[in-house]
Homo-oligomer: A and B are copies of this chain.
Amino acid sequence: MSSLKVAMIGHGFMGAAHSQSWRSAHRVFDLPADPQMAVLVGRDSSKAAAQAAQWGWESSSASWQEVVERDDIDIIDIVTPGASHAQIAIAALEAGKHVLCEKPLANTVEEAELMAEAAERAAVRGVRTMVGFTYRRVPAASFMRQLIAQGVLGEIQQVRASYRQDWLVDSTAPLSWRLQQDQAGSGALGDIGAHAIDLVQFTTGLPIQAVSGVLQTVTEHRPLADGSGFGQVSVDDLALFNGRLGNGALASFEASRVATGRKNALSIEVSGSRGALAFDLEELNSLQYYNREDQQDRQGFRNILVTEPVHPYLSGWWPAGHMLGYEHGFSHQVKDLVESISGPTPAHSTFAEGLQVQRVLDAVARSAGNESAWTQVARESRIHLA
């Protein structure tokens, strides 16, 4: 059994989830190679060392540059904030490392394009890239894509997607870095709207080609963290937009941090000529399916528990009917990445796909700045989209 040495750059909350998956995936699935948790990288040496010990990484380092150049490292896993993604990822790709990068791919389209180009150059040499759109790999979402690809919905006629949270309803919540554009790049739109965009494109197989949208900052001034007064919020709390898909169908989107009572509610419903499918992350083991071809008097949305061995990714886990949670998408991500590294083809959610999401986000922001006028998503790309 060969192994793949992994270095993880960064160690925030995402680092915890990634560590759990690097630790688990090959214990649960029969993988062609075992990931080896080699190095954890963090700017503060002692913090990085402590976190490495906690999470089970063999060593730690304060220099991602050194780690990226190490001959023995196979995979670079980037879980830092978006502003540093481009620099690290491009260096890693040029050093021939496979790269897993958290979403969003970058804070700007320009950086994302550079990353996608680097990925395209590296791909020639068999180097794999993956963006961390883990919700794709929740079994119910993967199964939704499978069913749609099989034609179960017929022609897709309408899509609705929303991602709703409520942590900014509290007007006394402080002005964190996430609420400042220079650091976060974007607000609800980029943080959670990106997941909704990706899930629509992934499950339907249809790209968003144009958008019309509006952004709003509900609470414009918030207390500074140091108690010295109030500061200006410079990102959106709420994004509402419509998109036109590749087949002409309309899709509606909502990304909200002010949806009182909604904690992590990512929902998508796809309506087609033969049926409909609906998924909600707050019931992540279920998929709702309506079949127009059921006998007429007994049609209805079926609540399919996506927990059977016939469903995607389930064979590795527990017996039928046992629930998975949020973190399992990360293990499936590791599984797919490792298998693609050992196999002939890339797995889905490549950097090229991450760039496409970035372009949609950018078009929404431009539309919002132009009275919600319909705005084309850039396509004239220097790189090939999968």
Contacts and interface: CB of A to CB of B under 8 A. Distances in A.
B305 A302 contact: no
Contacts of A310: 296-297
Contact of A281 (B162, B271, B284, B323): B323
Nearest to A162: B160
Interface in A234-274: 238, 240, 242, 249-250, 252, 254, 256, 258-265, 269, 271-273
A384 interface: no
A83 interface: no
A323 B320 contact: no
Interface of A: 13, 16-17, 19-20, 23-24, 27-28, 30, 54-56, 143, 147, 153, 157-158, 160, 162, 165-167, 169, 171, 212, 214, 216, 218, 238, 240, 242, 249-250, 252, 254, 256, 258-265, 269, 271-273, 275-276, 281-287, 289-290, 292, 294, 296-305, 307-308, 310-311, 317-328, 371-374
Contact of A374 (B20, B299, B321, B372): B372
A158 B258 contact: yes
Q: Which 5 A-B pairs have the closest CB atoms?
A: A263-B321, A264-B321, A261-B290, A325-B325, A300-B302
Given A240-B250, A374-B372, A143 B258 contact: no
B260 A292 contact: yes
A326 B318 contact: yes
Contact of A275 (B165, B260, B318): B260
A324 B284 CA distance: 10
Contact of A55 (B13, B27, B216, B298): B27
A212 B166 CA distance: 25
A294 B311 CA distance: 15
Given A169-B273, A212-B372, 6 more contacts: A167-B320, A264-B323, A289-B298, A296-B308, A297-B310, A300-B303
A13 B309 CA distance: 14
Q: Which of A13, A273, A299 has the most chain B CB atoms inside 10 A of its CB?
A: A299
Q: Which of A252, A256, A272, A283 has the most chain B CB atoms inside 10 A of its CB?
A: A252
A301 B303 contact: yes
Contact of A318 (B167, B322, B327): B327
A284 B323 CA distance: 8
A304 B311 contact: no
Q: Which of A258, A260, A320 has the most chain B CB atoms inside 10 A of its CB?
A: A260
Contacts of A262: 276
A55 B160 CA distance: 41
A56 B305 CA distance: 30
A214 B302 contact: no
Given A158-B238, A297-B143, A23 B17 contact: no
Contact of A297 (B13, B55, B308): B308
A17 B297 CA distance: 24
B259 A271 contact: yes
A174 to B, nearest CB: 16
Given A143-B297, A261-B276, A283-B283, A250 B303 contact: no
A262 B297 CA distance: 15
A305 B300 contact: yes
Contacts of A242: 214, 240, 372
A328 B325 CA distance: 9
A260 B276 contact: yes
Contacts of A24: 20, 23-24
